[in-house]
Structure 1
Amino acid sequence: MTNLDVSHNLVLRLAITVINRRGNAVQVVVIGAGVVGLASAWYLARQGLQVTLVDRHADVAQETSFANGGQLSYSYVAPLADPGVISKLPQWLLRADSPLRFRPRLDPAQWRWCMAFLRSCNDAQVRRTIGEMLSLSFLSRDALDELLGEHALDFDLIRTGKLVVYRDPGALAAAAPMVDWQRSLGADQRILDGAGCVALEPALQAIGGQLAGGIFTPGEATGDCLRFCQGLKALLAQLPNVHLVLGREVKALVHERNRVVAVRTDHGDLPADAVVMAAGMFSVPLLKPLGISLPLYGLRGYSLSVPLDAAMQAPRLSVTDAARKVVYAPLNQHLRIAAMVDMGVARADIDPARITLLKQQVLETFPHLELTNAKAWAGLRPSTAHSKPIVGRAGNFSNLWLNVGQGALGFTLALGSARLLAAQVMNEAPPIDPAPFQLR
């Protein structure tokens, strides 16, 4: 099918606008213009609904989607909660150079999340979660291919493959059984020795002697999430049934019994037949007055965007340093480096000490990188304790929907989550089993 055919079919579909019981077009308000909210608006609009996308910022992707890790990691969706994490927690919590930093607070939500996290750190739960997450990530991968077949979005997409490198032979050996199991679920992964890692990614030469080996997944990719969001915004702006309301802060949801009837903003109310909450951590206070407690916690992460030139020896593959939890994503003229988890902070402020540490770790791995002009960024990843997003109806509210909790995999899971959500909103057969992603 050509792009012209696709556009023609879309016009025909939009002409058959969904009508509510009052005889008016169904109005859906999507709250949040990050990558998840934009994707939700796209698939709902494609269903013929009248979609209003609202965000407090004047442009899209100004929060967690702005400068994230840049990896489209469809086969690498292992949850943060893992049995191996428990033995590492004491040293992580006590060391200044730990990839995980925990600040205890007098916050019941923090401790509830921590207890749920520890309960999820068992083999049976991890295997179940990975299987469920792979179904969603593979849906996202197929959705991206379909989207790019219809529209020429330019967001520095590079199908690099992903190489996870290990310094510790024991850690690599512990990862091997999971590789075999994920391969049985359709994830193409292979184990390399240290020399094989350097042969595949020559920029690792400086630490070649330290490497026990690595895991290579050829189907992975990298891309600039901000540019992807800007491309989706441009597509949405062309649709006659989409209204972009940017620079307007949502204050509350107006509800009558078990229905939301409007979204209250600082510039008046937006009438709604249905509402989709896709505002990351900002979803939590908006839903609390409705008696809905979202099991989300903000995990602050950091990134560096490093300008590249032809002479700089930078990785050409997507690389993850397993021990230090640092990811490297090539983005044409830039290298995106993301790392670290700060738990117990409520804001996305940049901690200079963490950036200094990150730069030190980067140069120990890739000493030829020039970090003088690197741009630092921090964002709050909206995470569930089991790492699965929440996609589905919100409690007893008949017309309130959730698409939140993608955590560090927001870019990877956005399109699949949005497709799953749109099917539920339209009461259509879902593309995958929605049960694992429901609010409990």
Structure 2
Amino acid sequence: MAAMVSIIGGGVIGLASAYALVRAGYEVTVIDARDSLGSETSFANGGQLSYRYVAPLADAGVPLQAIGWLLRGDSPLKLRPRLDPQQWRWMAAFIGACRGSVNARNAAHLLRLASLSQNTLQQWRVDDRLDGFDWRRNGKLVTFRNADTFARARSKVVDVLQQQVLSTLDCARLEPALAHAAQGFVGGIYTPNEEVADCHAFCQRLAQRLEASGRCTFVLGRKVTGLRHADGVVTAVELGDEVKPVTQLVLAAGHRSAELGLPGLSLPLYPLKGYSLSVPIGPRHHAPNVSITDYDRKIVYARIGEQLRVAAMVDIVGFDAGLEPKRLALMKRQSIETFPTAGDYANGVEWAGMRPATPTGVPLIGASVYRNVWLNLGHGALGFTLACGSGQLLAELIGQHTPSIDMQGLTPRAA
């Protein structure tokens, strides 16, 4: 009989974990509080599979820069202090990680995981013929408005085969949709092997394959109300009045995993709220084909099928995922300034999501202080990018196989 694994969380991390486990021969149950899979943070994220731009937010100079941002009305960062010890602990740890040496070390960990994730998705696409989620290898262009910022970024380019430094004119030649806004930029860095896809559609395709495998059961619309445990082992999941026994348990419910209340399990997670606008593209529009990151405004643009996905903002404001009209209006205005003819902005669909982040920006993947509880959490804004590699690693760890990459820096710290 195949080993049994239960997963709490039906977003891209939980579903990629389930897919990797089923491929490895496990029987899997996915539990999610929502009636549909991939319907929260995975629903309308930026869509960029940005495998080489994975440096954590925490870096030298960021706290001082953030103070400047907070004094601006058009800031990409918003902080709303709360009487919440969790927020303050997270921010203190974040500030502690804002050192250049720490950032470089954590970026190396993320780069290893991102490379594995790109290779894993490629394997699934080829071996399993996994498709139907608007995947493209369209390249990514990071554009800069500030000469000093551009100079620093340019100095870090070490592999000219992977990254190309472009002038303002070169940027417009590469992506004609930038012609209108080219005068606002001083240059860019182009990475040809980056990709784009629809995260929500990817979740649906994984779910279809999982269901067809006969090895995966979905329990949807059922909130986990408690976890029963004894002697360092979780024995069952409580779903209201129903109790489901578990053999192995994976926590992949984003920042809500901390609400499950396992004694002794400390999860340094906090939601970073972000926003997106999905803009329909018609025959008369001129949307960029290359993915664009406006570095100084912290806005990303990705063409996903016949829509332009615009995503931006890091709001540290608590746990309310509601839409904030002022933030969305700012993002929309800046998008129209940059790409005025990219799509039908009047009919763009607005969205907000809560990205579960650790202070260091490095996710927690692996064993916990409970002998049968595993973590796949804290991917922040890189959830889609890192999902396949994270799921593959988790399947290897549960199966007691040698991980595909060095796990240094990725293994959860003891609580």
**Superposition TM-score, scaled by structure 1 size:** 0.91
* 1:382-403 C-alpha deviation (Å, 9 max, x unpaired): 00111111001112x1000000
CA distance in 2, matches of 1:155, 1:385: 31
Among 143, 156, 178, the residue aligned to 1:178:
156
1:148 is the counterpart of 2:148: no
Match of 1:434 in 2: 407
Report whether the alignment pairs 1:358 with 2:331. yes
Partners of 1:188 and 1:46 lie apart in 2 by: 31
Query: In the alignment, is the contact (CA less than 8 A) between 1:31 and 1:278 conserved in 2?
Result: yes
Matched, 1:30 2:3: no
- TM-superposed deviation, 1:133: 0.7
* Structure 1 unaligned spans of 5+: 1-16, 19-25
C-alpha distance in 1 between matches for 2:212 and 2:244: 21
Shift of 1:34: 0.2
Which residue, out of 97, 104, 110, partners 1:133? 110
Cα distance between partner residues in 2 of 1:84 and 1:176: 18
**Structure 2, unpaired ranges of 5+:** none
- TM-align CA RMSD: 1.3
Instruction: Indicate conservation of the 8 Å contact 2:162/2:192, yes or no.
Output: yes
Q: 1:28·1:274 contact (CA, 8 Å) conserved in 2?
A: yes
Q: Is the Cα–Cα contact under 8 Å of residues 27 and 271 in structure 1 kept in the other structure? A: no
Query: Using the alignment, how far apart are the partners of 1:209 and 1:326 within structure 2?
Result: 17
SS of 1:179's equivalent?
coil
Supply the AA of the counterpart residue of 2:263.
Answer: L
Equivalents in 1 of 2:67, 2:409: separation in Å?
31
State the shift of 1:320 in Å. Answer: 0.4
Equivalent pairs, count:
411
Q: Equivalent residues in 2 for 1:34-433 (5 A)? A: 34-149=11-126, 150-180=128-158, 183=159, 188-266=162-240, 268-286=242-260, 288-369=261-342, 370-395=344-369, 397-433=370-406
Q: Secondary structure at the match of 1:398?
A: coil
Q: Distance in 2 between matches of 1:418 and 1:89?
A: 33
By how many angstroms is 1:92 displaced? 0.9
Kindly, what percent of the aligned residue pairs are identical?
Answer: 45
What is the CA–CA distance in structure 1 between the aligned matches of 2:101 and 2:150, rounded to whole Å? 20
Q: CA 1:176–1:206 in structure 2 vs 1: closer, same or farther (change >3 Å)?
A: same
Deviation, 1:345, is 2.2
Q: CA deviation at 1:89?
A: 1.3
Deviation at residue 266 of structure 1 after TM alignment: 2.4
Shift of 1:267: 5.2
Cα separation, 1, equivalents of 2:144 and 2:235: 52
Q: Distance in 2 between matches of 1:233 and 1:342?
A: 30
Contact 1:248–1:267 (Cα < 8 Å) also in 2: no
